[in-house]
């Protein structure tokens, strides 16, 4: 019921398959969702100190950047239909007709360590990131010198290292270009992470 899409996975087909009424189907879906969410303390946690050091060592071996403990970016989850609400236009994203914006931070092993969902598709990356615990309580997440990396859409801070952005019609200097290349080596793990997530739960590609 969760994580599949297509005509054979819609509500009426599922109810016919399991021979249950619409109300019971809704209750069962809620129970499944609650059961999955109850596991988050076991499978969805911010890295412990020793684990962060391990990931930072691996990242350093890959690209030469020390103390990287997370890769942050936002992803859009497309909505199949426009919401029936007065704030529906806010869900109009730059890549899809209507979507939800979710901030996800993963580690070097492509494991999701933190997410913040529920923002409309029009929300800017930095607006969503500023609502996370990384900004509000950074000392709870980072030891000395540790940080996450992201693209130029974020606001730089001691806990967020960004790629350099070139202006319109400008070229990056060689050192900045090399730095961006090093960041890209690590950031590709985020793209793989999102690909795995949407591959495991195709429903997220058309909610």
Rounded Cα distance between 114 and 47, Å, is 10
The span from the CA of 193 to the CA of 196, in Å, is 5
Within 151-196, strands assigned E span: 160-162
CA distance 119 to 99: 9
| pLDDT (0 to 100) of residue 10 | 63
Give the pLDDT band (50/70/90) at residue 5: low
Banded pLDDT at 3 (limits 50, 70, 90): very low
| pTM score | 0.79
Q: What is the structure's pLDDT at 98?
A: 87
Structure tokens at 133: 């615990």
Q: What is the pLDDT of residues 48-79, one digit of tens each?
A: 888 888 888 888 888 888 899 899 988 888 88
User: What does DSSP say about strands 68-78 and 147-150: parallel, antiparallel, or unpaired?
Assistant: parallel
**pLDDT mean across residues, the chain:** 83
d(CA 105, CA 181): 20
For the chain, helix (H) and strand (E) counts, in that order, are 7, 5
pLDDT digits (tens, 9 = 90+) for 108-151: 889 898 888 888 888 888 888 888 888 888 888 888 889 999 88
Q: Which residue has the higher pLDDT, 26 or 3?
A: 26
How many angstroms separate the Cα of 205 from the Cα of each of 113, 144, 151, 194? 21, 38, 23, 11
Q: Which helix (H) or strand (E) holds 58?
A: helix 49-63
- Residue corresponding to tokens 């730059």: 94
């Amino acid at each position: 019921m969760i994580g599949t899409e297509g005509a054979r996975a819609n509500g009426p087909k599922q109810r016919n398959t399991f021979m249950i009424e619409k109300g019971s189907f809704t209750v069962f879906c809620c129970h499944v969702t609650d059961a999955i969410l109850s596991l988050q303390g076991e499978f969805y946690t911010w890295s412990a100190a020793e684990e962060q050091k391990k990931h930072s060592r691996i990242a350093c071996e890959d690209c030469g950047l020390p103390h990287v403990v997370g890769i942050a970016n936002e992803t859009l989850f497309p909505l199949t239909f426009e919401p029936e609400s007065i704030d529906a236009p806010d869900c109009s994203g730059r890549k899809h007709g209507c979507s939800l914006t979710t901030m996800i931070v993963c580690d070097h092993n492509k494991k999701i360590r933190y997410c913040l969902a529920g923002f409309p598709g029009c929300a800017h990356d930095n607006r969503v990131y500023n609502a996370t615990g990384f900004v509000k309580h950074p000392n709870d997440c980072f030891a000395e010198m540790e940080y996450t990396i992201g693209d130029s859409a974020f606001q730089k801070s001691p806990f967020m290292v960004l790629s350099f952005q070139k202006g319109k019609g400008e070229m990056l200097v060689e050192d900045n270009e090399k730095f961006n290349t090093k960041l890209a080596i690590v950031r590709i793990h985020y793209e793989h992470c999102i690909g795995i997530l949407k591959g495991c739960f195709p429903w997220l590609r058309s909610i």
